[in-house]
Amino acid sequence: MTEGVTAAPKRSDAAVTPVAWRIAALGILAGGAAAGYLAGRGRLGRIVPLLTCGVAIGCAAPVALATRRPPISPDSAARALGAASMKATFTILVAARDEAGVLPQLVRDIARQDYRTASGEPLFELIVVDDRSEDGSGEAVDKAVRECGLEKVTRVIRRDGAFLPDGKGAALTAAQPDVCNGDVVLVLDADARIDPAFLRLAAGYFAAGANAVTARRRIFDCEGDWLAGAQADEQTLDGELNRGRWALGGCSEFRGNGIMIRRDLLASVGGWRAAALTEDVDLASRIAAHAGERVAWAIDVEVWEEPVRSWHGLWRQRVRWAEGAFRRFFEHGPAVVRSERLSIGARLDFVTYIGQLAVPAVVVGAAAAAIATGRKRTLWALVGGYLGISAGLGWDSLRWERRLNGRPLSHGERLGRTLRVSLFNGIWLLVVPRALLNLALRGGPVRYEKMDHQGAAASHWDDAPGRLAQ
């Protein structure tokens, strides 16, 4: 089932840091810190926090309201699929490096998919990119595929060579659109778990007219674990924010686990890029700039994944995410802002969303002013406003959550989880300045650090797929 070996790309294919980006990162960090410092020392100390909070509330309130009227609802997606004369086929694409422990679980979930023809033939194929694995990942896939009867629709592509760039985006370049047979390309992480109805529910959004869709990311194994539970609620909050941006006509974005895009659209923007540190937002910006496409958020199409299980691992992951967001802005931001295929509102949404990444730098400056002068009003106001907006959106987004018995959270549970996710989001006040500093000081290629996966406990998934406790 293994198809072949890819040629080694040139070193220049790896993500590098142009001098202009380094200067821009330093300018954002220094400029934001200077603004925060001046605000903390002078008369602007009262105005800046009020202005910041006012802008944040003005953006957050419309988002929360808009999530209640998405352009494509789950019901309308289901009706569109029922009325469709032709149903989209899927290429499920998984990039994996040393993931033998979790890939068989995902293969079994894919084999359970009920998205098939009347005769039971799958309306999907599976492509696994074995990215230089040394633990037998390819062999583990082959064995699981034979056990599940998916041999006819599965391919394993071995990626080997010297000087290969690291990272998921780089691995995906081994399966460009011309390698895929499906109408829609679906990207899943190696540790992903999906319900039997996943593809059928996703197909409804494409039948309803979407060309790019992202699944709702969920976190398993988070019962009684503060860190895992906070990540679960963070994903729910992030989904609320981007679902609202989509409903408002803004530049909503993919999230890495559960990317779905029509194959012809992916091909039209150049396919996957080895230089993309964060392939999800990189692709979202490219389809926005060049095709005017925005990403639909499918709240009923759920992909479950492991939490990051340590603070050290979480820090490394979040710094990479933040650096990837800035790299995307420096590389694709001008094209998005100039794009005539996007409405003015969509372009303004893009600028506003990127602009909020400057707030942590301002907080750094306000903290320095508080230390120098002893006046902490500006610092507490900025931090309070930042965490307060997270709390407001968090409270609203948790309306989607349910207990094991299917009932909504009690007010007490919802409040406790709101406070948890708000405090957890405070990590970005430290992550973003560190990411900017990394960008400013780095001259060579970016080193991608892989997360370790353990897999879901069988008692939490295999016995009751898709119904994990939060």
Q: Is residue 112 part of a domain?
A: yes
- Domain-embedded: residue 463: no
Domain that holds residue 413: 1-452
Alpha-carbon separation of residue 224 from 83, 108, 229, 420 (angstroms): 44, 27, 8, 13
Which residues are CB-neighbours of 95 under 8 A, at least 6 positions away?
129, 131, 168, 171, 172, 174, 175, 187, 190
Length of the chain: 470
> Quick one: tokens of 443?
């001259």
Contacts of 252 (CB under 8 A, 6+ apart): 242, 243, 245, 246, 284, 294, 295, 296, 297
Band (52; pLDDT cuts 50, 70, 90)? low
The answer to whether residue 470 is domain-embedded is no
Distance in angstroms (rounded) separating the CA atoms of residues 37 and 408: 44
The confidence score (pLDDT) of residue 15 equals 62
Mean per-residue pLDDT over the chain, rounded: 90
256: helix, strand or coil? coil
- Contacts with 20 (C-beta within 8 Å, 6 or more apart), sequence order: 330
How far is residue 35's CA from residue 300's CA, in Å, rounded to a whole number?
Answer: 42
- Note the pLDDT of residue 235: 96
Q: What is the mean pLDDT of residues 436-464?
A: 69
pLDDT band at 9 (very low <50, low <70, confident <90, very high): very low
**Tens of pLDDT, residues 240-293:** 999 999 999 999 999 999 999 999 999 999 999 998 999 999 999 999 999 999
**Each residue's pLDDT tens digit, 347-399:** 999 998 998 899 999 999 999 999 999 888 889 888 988 898 899 999 999 99
Give Cα 401 to chain centroid, integer Å: 19
H helices of 248-310, in order, are 263-268, 279-291
**Does some domain include residue 84?**
yes
CA distances from 139 to 193, 195, 328 (A): 20, 24, 35
Total number of domains in the chain: 1
Segment 433-448 shows an average pLDDT of 83
DSSP string, 127-188: EEEEES-SS-HHHHHHHHHHHHT-GGGEEEEEE--TTPPPSHHHHHGGG-GGG--SSEEEEE
Decide if 462 is inside a domain.
Answer: no
- Give the burial class of 69: count Cβ atoms within 10 A of its Cβ; 0-12 exposed, 13-18 middle, 19 or more buried: exposed
* 469 assigned to some structural domain: no
Is 464 part of any domain?
no
Reduced to 3 states (helix: H, G, I; strand: E, B; else coil), residue 257 is coil
Rg of the chain on CA atoms, in Å: 22
* 383, containing H or E segment: helix 377-397
Do 28 and 329 contact (CB within 8 A), yes or no?
A: no
Identify whether 429 is part of a domain. yes
CATH number at residue 444: 3.90.550.10
**What is the per-residue pLDDT for 7?**
47
